[in-house]
Amino acid sequence: MRAIVAEPFGGPEALRIVERPAPLCAAGELLVRVRATALNRADLLQRMGKYPPPPGVTDVLGLEMAGEVAEVGDGVEGWQVGDRVCALLPGGGYAEYVAIPAGMALRLPEAMTFEEAAAIPEAFLTAFLNLWTLGGLRPGHRVLVHAAASGVGTAAIQLVREAGAIAYATAGSPEKLAAASALGAAAGWNYRDGSFRDWLLAQTDGRGVDLALDFVGAPYFADHLATLAIDGRLLVIGTLGGAAVKDGFSLGALLAKRLHLIGTTLRSRPLADKLALTRDFAAFAWPRFEDGRLRAVVDRVYAFEDVAAAHRRMESNANIGKIVLRL
């Protein structure tokens, strides 16, 4: 089968289409013929040699896919060859075939395309994990979503809306803020205009937010402490702006407001956790995808052979929603 790896590590030009044996379909698994996959920031880091796959996971890039079941493993019930599915992966999505535990498969609604489905698993499951499982999202909560036009950002805004909570968005252009507003964000802030602190406190009548979904890291840390409400939770899922918090941070800010500081990644979680997360997410979200209340936000679709151009698009930070590769 054709697959994409980084040989050697480096820029988009390091990406290579190579021939690899198709994975075997073990008991309890589905072998899926991949029709589309989607890009994630983790793919860029892996390509550069900064985010190696977990032990035992293929070096083929790709953390999600959508396709057709090509083989059903022993002991699997409820699936048959030809069923359309999408799934979260630990790696291997940039390939023609992938084997997945049957419990990770999500059945595509009839009207959903493979390209739309490929844009769902990583973004929506990451957002769901942080908002529900770790954040304890409830109706009426106020939630700050950074990188609001990213895959996770566009997913998070919709999930917050569907939970009966209120989303506040930050992004780097009027176009991205308009997209966040169209998805349900109550208000938006262009981070190029400086700190979001005064704006967010004004939006929340000085109360602050219950949850902050942070991709940026150290540069925003002080502003988060100032804008989290009592018992607020800061969920750090990325450090695009740096990981080292400057001197002067006092633990007193955590104590005074009983704040929760939570760091998390999805890729390295045990399979049992991912299976439970997928079940919980499907129960809440899948009826909403079927009736249109939730939707995948797709920025552009590239051919498999144009993977380098797709990576350059993501590196330019111009995308609104997910960038997809079509096989």
What does the pLDDT average to over 95-122?
98
- Whether the per-residue pLDDT at 241 is higher than 90: the answer is no
Q: Do the beta carbons of residue 9 and residue 47 sit within 8 Å? A: yes
Distance separating alpha carbons of residues 295 and 282, to the nearest angstrom: 14
pLDDT tens by residue, 120-175: 999 999 999 999 999 999 999 999 999 999 999 999 999 999 999 999 999 999 99
Using alpha carbons, select from 324, 293, 41 the residue that is nearest to residue 157.
293
Residue with tokens 């957002």: 127
pTM for the model: 0.96
How many whole angstroms separate alpha carbon 241 and alpha carbon 221? 11
pLDDT digits (tens, 9 = 90+) for 286-314: 999 999 999 999 999 999 999 999 999 99
Lowest mean pLDDT among 13-22, 35-44, 256-265: 256-265
Out of 1-5, 97-101, 202-206, 217-221, pick the least confident.
Answer: 217-221
Q: Across all residues in the chain, what is the average pLDDT?
A: 96
The predicted model gives 85-89 an average pLDDT of 98
The domains found in the chain, sorted by start residue, are: 2-120+267-326 (3.90.180.10), 124-263 (3.40.50.720)
pLDDT tops 80 at residue 250: no
Strands in 226-270 per DSSP E:
228-236, 260-263
Lowest-pLDDT range, 60-64, 138-142, 254-258, 278-282? 254-258
Distance of CA 68 to the CA centre of its chain: 22
Residue 247 has pLDDT above 70, yes or no: no
Render pLDDT for 195-208 as a digit per residue (tens, 0 to 9): 999 999 999 999 99
pLDDT in tens, 26-67: 999 999 999 999 999 999 999 999 999 999 999 999 999 999
Alpha helices by DSSP H, 163-251: 174-183, 197-203, 221-227
Of the listed ranges 31-40, 173-182, 229-238, 242-251, the one predicted with least confidence: 242-251
User: Which residue stretches of the chain are H helix?
Assistant: 41-47, 114-118, 121-128, 151-162, 174-183, 197-203, 221-227, 252-257, 271-291, 307-315
pLDDT at 6 over 90: yes
Give the pLDDT of residue 302.
98
Q: What residues contact 150, with CB distance under 8 A and at least 6 apart? A: 123, 215, 319, 321
Beta bridge partners of 18: 3
What is the structure's pLDDT at 245?
85
What per-residue confidence (pLDDT) applies to 98?
Answer: 98
Rounded Cα–Cα distance for residues 109 and 54 (Å)? 31
pLDDT at 249 (0 to 100): 73
Among residues 121, 187, 131, 200, the alpha carbon closest in space to that of 162 is found at: 131
